[in-house]
């Protein structure tokens, strides 16, 4: 590239470099113009849209005439109208008051009005008999052949009342506990009597038994000691008479050259025999 720099088609020629710079500047200016035109068109369209929206919101002269005066919003207008209408009707007021009291009794609790001591479900079955047994059980029959007293239907009784069942079971449990306590107290009394009757005899027998056991233990220990002595010390054999041995006749241990010492002793004996 450095050799042919004088050629017209050379890349690094001054004329070619200047031409490239001009082309790049023209392309950049044209792209900028296009971008400006696009931005201007978008802004004009947006401005037109905003103008249309603003013109649509503005009221006309006829609309201004038809608009009413702005007043306070009353949320309870219907209730006030009904109240004003009912003020002149005492019967309607009494009916409305009765309805309100009924509703309050259902959802509230009156502390000033006392209630029954025991509700119907807490009463025993004997007291609830009139309420839950059908009084019209028997029906008179006009026919002569049939039974004059024919049962119309079975009496409506609540025999399996859960509250009655619970009370009965609790009473049974309490009775069982009471009987168990009485039984245990009677057994305790009997045991105390037995212990008091046999207290003195048991003390005497216990003292005798302790002395006997102690004597047996001592006798057993003596027998064990004698057995050990007979095994290890041979005390049961007759004691031999103590014989004093000559130091020269005593045996030698292996660490003192037993064989050599025996030979020396034999040699000494033979020498004595020769001189005799």
For the chain, first and last CA: distance in Å?
A: 145
Q: Give the model's pLDDT for residue 228.
A: 85
> Can you tell me the distance from the alpha carbon of 138 to that of 147, in angstroms, rounded to the nearest whole number?
11
Element (H, E) at 202: helix 199-232
Q: What is the pLDDT along the chain (276 residues), one digit of tens a residue?
A: 566 767 777 877 888 889 999 999 999 999 999 999 999 999 999 999 999 888 887 666 555 555 555 666 777 777 777 666 656 677 878 888 888 888 887 777 655 555 556 767 777 666 665 544 555 544 444 454 455 555 555 555 555 567 777 888 888 888 888 888 887 887 887 777 766 655 556 666 666 788 889 999 999 999 998 888 888 776 555 555 555 556 666 655 555 677 788 888 888 888 877 776
Tell me if the pTM is above 0.85: no
Q: Give the model's pLDDT for residue 86.
A: 57
List the domain boundaries for the chain. Answer: 14-55
User: CB pairs under 8 A, 24+ apart, for 130-137?
Assistant: 132/156, 132/157, 132/158, 133/157
Q: Give the model's pLDDT for residue 227.
A: 87
Contact call for residues 11 and 1 (beta carbons, < 8 A): yes
Q: Where are the beta strands (DSSP E) in the chain?
A: 138-140, 149-151
Q: Give the model's pLDDT for residue 29.
A: 95
Q: Give the model's pLDDT for residue 183.
A: 78
108-138 burial, b at 16+ Cβ within 10 Å, e below that, comes to eeeeeeeeeeeeeeebeeeebeeeeeeeeee
């Amino acid at each position: 590239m450095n050799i042919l720099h004088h050629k017209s088609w050379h890349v690094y020629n001054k004329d070619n470099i200047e031409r490239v710079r001009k082309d790049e500047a023209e392309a950049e200016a044209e792209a900028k113009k296009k971008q400006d035109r696009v931005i201007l068109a978008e802004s004009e369209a947006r401005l037109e849209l905003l103008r249309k929206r603003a013109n649509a919101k503005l009221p006309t002269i006829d609309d201004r005439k038809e608009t009413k005066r702005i007043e306070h919003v009353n949320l309870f207008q219907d209730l006030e109208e009904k109240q004003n209408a009912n003020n002149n009707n005492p019967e309607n007021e009494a009916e409305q008051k009765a309805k309100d009291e009924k509703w309050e009794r259902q959802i509230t609790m009156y502390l000033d009005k006392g209630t029954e001591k025991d509700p119907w479900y807490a009463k025993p079955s004997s007291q609830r008999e009139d309420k839950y047994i059908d009084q019209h059980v028997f029906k008179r029959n006009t026919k002569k052949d049939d039974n004059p007293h024919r049962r119309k239907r079975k009496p409506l009784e609540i025999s399996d009342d859960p509250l009655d069942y619970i009370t009965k079971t609790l009473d049974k449990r309490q009775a069982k506990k009471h009987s168990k306590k009485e039984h245990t107290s009677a057994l305790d009394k009997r045991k105390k009597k037995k212990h008091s009757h046999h207290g003195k005899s048991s003390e005497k027998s216990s003292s005798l038994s302790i002395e006997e056991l102690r004597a047996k233990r001592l006798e057993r220990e003596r027998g064990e000691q004698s057995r050990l002595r007979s095994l290890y010390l041979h005390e049961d054999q007759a004691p031999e008479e103590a014989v004093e041995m000559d130091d020269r006749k005593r045996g030698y241990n292996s660490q003192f050259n037993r064989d050599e010492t025996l030979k020396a002793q034999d040699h000494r004996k033979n020498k004595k025999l020769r001189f005799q």
